[in-house]
Structure 1
Amino acid sequence: MAQHTIDMSTNTFNLENYLKAAKVDVEAALDASIQVVYPEKVYEAMRYSLMAGGKRLRPILCLAAYEAIGGDSQGDASRRDEALRVAMPTACAMEMVHTMSLIHDDLPAMDNDDYRRGKLTNHKVYGEDIAILAGDALLAYAFEFIADRTAGVPAERVINVVKRLGHAIAATGLVGGQVVDLECEGKTDTTAETLTFIHMHKTAALLEACVTCGAVLAGASGADLAKLSTYAQNIGLAFQIIDDILDMTATTEQLGKTAGKDVAAQKVTYPSLWGIPTSQQKAEELVNTAKAELQSFGSAAIPLMALADYITARDR
C-alpha cells in the first residue's frame, strides 16, 4: 500500500490529491485481486472491465467512510493506513459489483451500448455469453473476497457488510431498479416518483452500501449509520441527476460511453421532466442536505463532504 500524507484540515484539504492517492491504492488492490488462470477467457473478461479505469468513486467512498468513524481532526495517517488494511477488501468488492452492473447494463438486452469508459464494452470484445458469465463471476467473487480477505474486525461486522451488500444488489436494490427502468422505456408518462424509485434502487443503493459498509467495519453506531445512509442516498440521487444532465450535454468522448442514449431510448429523465437548470438545482440541494448529515463527524468527514461536492461539479 502506498503511503500518502494528506492534510485533512478544512482550509487545506485538496480533493484532487486525495482522489489521486486513493485511486492509486484502489487500483493496486484491484489489480492484485484477480489472476488469470484456467479457463483464461472468463478471467481475462473479468479483468478487462474491472481494470478499465473509471473514477473508483465507490471504493473511495467506502474507505472515506471508514476514516470518518473515529478519525481525528487532522486526518491521522495511521487511521488511513487502517482503512486501507481493513476496509480495502470491501472497497474492492464494491467495485467488482459495480463493474458487474456495467457489463450487464451494456448488453443488448439492457441498454445495448458499444462503449464504456472509452473502450469497447465487454460483450463487444468477448461475446454476450462470456460477458454475462464474467459479470456473474465478479458478483459471486465480491462476496468471497469480503469473507476471505477481511481481517482485524469482529466476524459480526463482516456478516453485516455481506448482508448490506446483498440487499443493495438484489430485487430490493439494483436489480429492482433495473427492472422498473426497463419497464419504463418508451413510456412518456413515467412520473418523478417512479423515476426516483428507479434511481434510489439502481444507483443510490450501491452507493449507500459503499458508505455504510465502510462505517460498519469501523464500528459505527446505529445513529452514525443512519446519518451516513441519508448522506449516501442523497448523493446517490444527485449523482444520477448529473448523469442525466451529462447524457444530454456532454460528448461521447467526454463520457467514455455513447452520449444521448437516454433520448434515443425514449427514457424519461430528470432533465426531461424538470429541465436542466431545475435538475442542476435539485442536485445541489441534495448535496447540501447530504453534507448537513455529516456535521456531527467534524473534520473527519471532510473527504466525504468534498466527494459530495465533486458529484455535482463533475463533467463526465
Structure 2
Amino acid sequence: MTTTPMLAVDLLLALAALATAGQCLLLPGLFRAVANLMAFGLVMALIWVRLEAPDVALAEAAIGAGITGALLLTALGQLPASQRSIQPTCDRPLRLLIPITALVLLIAGVLWATVLALPKPGLVEEVAAVLPKSGAEHAVTAILLNLRGIDTLLEIAVMLCAVAAIWSLQQAIPPPALGDHYPGLPTLARWLHPLFLLMFSYFLWQGTHAPGGAFPAGAVLGAGGVLLLLTGSIAWMHQRDFNLLLRWLLAAGLLLFLATALGGLLMTGTLYGLPPQLAGYFIMAIEVATALSIALMLMAFYLFGRPGAPR
C-alpha cells in the first residue's frame, strides 16, 4: 500500500524534471530559461531526497538552484535588452516535445525495470569492514575523504580551474547595487548570515556520522556569502591587499588534499593511504579547509573577474 503513492511521486518528479528541462531549452526568452533551470535544480534536489542522498540534495538546492541561478540572473542583467529575448527559429522543436518526452519515458521505464531485475552486490560489506580504520563514522564521508579521496580532490581542482578561467577574462567589476533597489535586502542579508554560519558548522559536524560534510557546508556558507557580496557588504574581496591572501584561501582545500595524499604515500606507501590512528585528524582538517575553499570559490564567481587589479 505504501509503494503506490511513492511510485506516483517518483513519476511526478520525473515528469517535472523533463518538463522544466524542456521549457528551459525550447521556450523563448533568456529569463524563462534561467527560471526553468532554477526550477529544474529544485526538482533534482527532491529527486536526490527520494534516492536517500540528502547531502547531495542540499548541495543541488544550494548550488544548482540558488547560486547558479543567481549567477545567471546577474549575467542576464548585464546584457542589453535586445539580447534578452531569444525567439526560436521555428516551432518544430515544440511539436516534437511530446513524442520525444514519451520516447524518453519509455526508455527510462525499460531501463528501470532492467536495473531492478539485476543483482545488487554492491560494496556495502567491504566499506563496512574498513570503516573503523577510515577515520570517519559515516560511510559517505569515509568514501569521499579517504577510500576514494582522489575523486573529491579532482572535483575541487575543477572548481578552482573554473575560478581561474573566470578571473582570466577581465578585471573584477563592482557588485550590483541591489541595496539601492531593495533597501531592506542588505539588512536582511546581515541578519541571515549568522544562520548560514550555524548551518555551516552543523553540516561539518554532521558529516562525521551522517550525510553532510564539506560540500553541503561550503555550499550553504557560499550562498550566504554570495548574498552579502551582491548587496555590497563584502568590499574587502575587491581590495588589492587581500588579493594574495584570497588566492591562498581559495587553494587551501586543494593544497591540503594534495599534502595529505603525498603524506599517505610517504607513511603507508599508498597514495592517500591515511594511517588509521591519524585518519580522523586528517579528515577533520580536510573537511574544514575544503568547506571554506568551496564557499570562497562560489563567492569568487560573483566578483566577475580578477580582484585587486587596477582598473
* TM-score category of the 2 structures, normalised to the smaller one: under 0.3
In the superposition, the TM-score normalised over structure 1's length comes to 0.28
In the superposition, the TM-score normalised over structure 2's length comes to 0.28
- Structure number with the higher helix fraction is 2
